[in-house]
Amino acid sequence: MSLSFANSIAAHSRARALVPLCVGACVYLFYLYLGDTRLQDSDTFWQVKIGQWILDHRAMPTTDLYSFTRTGAPWISTSWLSQVLFAWSHAQLDWAGPVILTAVAVAITVAIFVYLLDAQIEAPRAVLFAMLALLLSTHHVLARPHILALPVMVAWVGVLMAAADRKSAPSWSWLPLMALWANLHGGFVLGLALIGPISLEAIEHAGKGRRLALFTRWVLFGIGALAASCLTPYGWRTLLGATNILGLGELLSLIFEWMPANFSTFTPFEGALLGLIAFGYYRGLVLSAPRIFLILFLTWGALTHVRSIEAFAFLVPLVLAKPLGEMFPRTAPDPVDAGRWPARTVTALGALMIVAASWTSTSLYMGHHRFTFTTTHTPVAAVDLLEQRKVQRVFNAYQFGGYLISRDIPVFVDGRAELYGEKFVMDFFKATEGKKPELLPRLLDEYKIDATLLVADAPGPQILDQLKGWKRIYTDDIAVIHVRDHAGSATATPSK
């Protein structure tokens, strides 16, 4: 009887591996169906363009290649591997490639997340946490490098927390995860920063005679992780490049993903914070000092920059997993006969069926659906006109920079804010948003601008309408073009 019961527990444990796979497959199909909404950030254009340049030249960019305001200035790509993957997928499947890649990355993230939580809490609760994490993160699930790094982030923190829960140090065999993360996205610095507080969790609960040895092992692991993060084509410069954007000061408050959280209207993030506080009070949740620090640190990051909300959403549950597991113990599985089919075989067959079903669904959906980029970031007709007029120097809106790069038109500015610097981009925003309109003619003259390409509903075009020496030649719902009066004698194109 005891042997049968042990076998049934083993079968139950192995069969649980299908839960993360099933949830991941559902998430993949969901984001595949919503694929067009993942193509709404103009930075995706230049990410693909840089990736294609790397593939074509078999080299890494070290200077700016795409603007006329910073041509030749030092610049490195801290997301080069993600950019190559996006470029390769785009070359194979057009925009369906980046969409599928994004959906796969989110699916793998959720599968790893559920698997890690399932080691501590019941599967239904793990799945619920996964759905809440997706709800909080969905605004930032875009076809961009940070999404390809998301599963690595979850796996890395999961490995560290699992080691802390065991009162031990992580194995050095996990260091390649950090190297992979450093090549995918600059967010790897978060993984380095979390080593310290997570190590304190392990050391605090270890026996007094083991603390010094355990501290030494964590320090060595941290040094190894720092070294692994430099295993990129740029070496130690990757660390510097990944942190450059944090020095942009006031500018960060104007770039949406770097803005602080806004509670003027109710958001899922606000609900999550209130729910976390309410749960802590209601259940009397008691946490160690390092876990409290981790939660406060992740909360501070999410409050400071909305782009950090997904880190809060996926990492806070990993920090809480063990305390929640102790608060809500698992129920023992029913002692049922495992049957003729070993659980390992059933799990493998189930996994193959899930992958096959997902692939078939993808093929069928792509057979009658063509993924396209959100039109508000693609001023196609306006750029066609600029090319017809052979304009050389275009003063473009910030959000149009990526699209212009994709059309091989040198830009005034684009999403690589760290390249241009705080003052340059702040002057640009102040000039085009009407905060300091007197800056606009100075910038146009200083950079010898031939034409402007600005957002239709922004103050910039209205300022240019009143500016002597400039005339509006094109308007549609997306963009407005102004040229100098002496830019040519061609008849103005009618507004649309």
Q: What is the pLDDT of residue 37?
A: 87
Tell me the β-bridge partners of 471: 483
Q: Are 406 and 414 in contact (CB under 8 A)?
A: no
| Amino acid type, 245 | I
Residue 230 CA to its chain's centroid (Å): 21
Q: What is the pLDDT of residue 374?
A: 78
Its pTM stands at 0.89
Q: Are 389 and 490 in contact (CB under 8 A)?
A: yes
Q: Work out the end-to-end distance of the chain between its first and last CA atoms, rounded to an integer number of angstroms.
A: 80
Q: What is the DSSP letter of 236?
A: T
pLDDT band at 14 (very low <50, low <70, confident <90, very high): low
Residue count of the chain: 496
Mean per-residue pLDDT, 322-339: 68
Q: What is the pLDDT of residue 209?
A: 81
What's the pLDDT tens digit per position in 454-468?
999 889 999 999 999
State yes or no: pLDDT of 180 exceeds 90: yes
Q: Give me 30's structure tokens.
A: 């969901």
pLDDT band at 258 (very low <50, low <70, confident <90, very high): confident
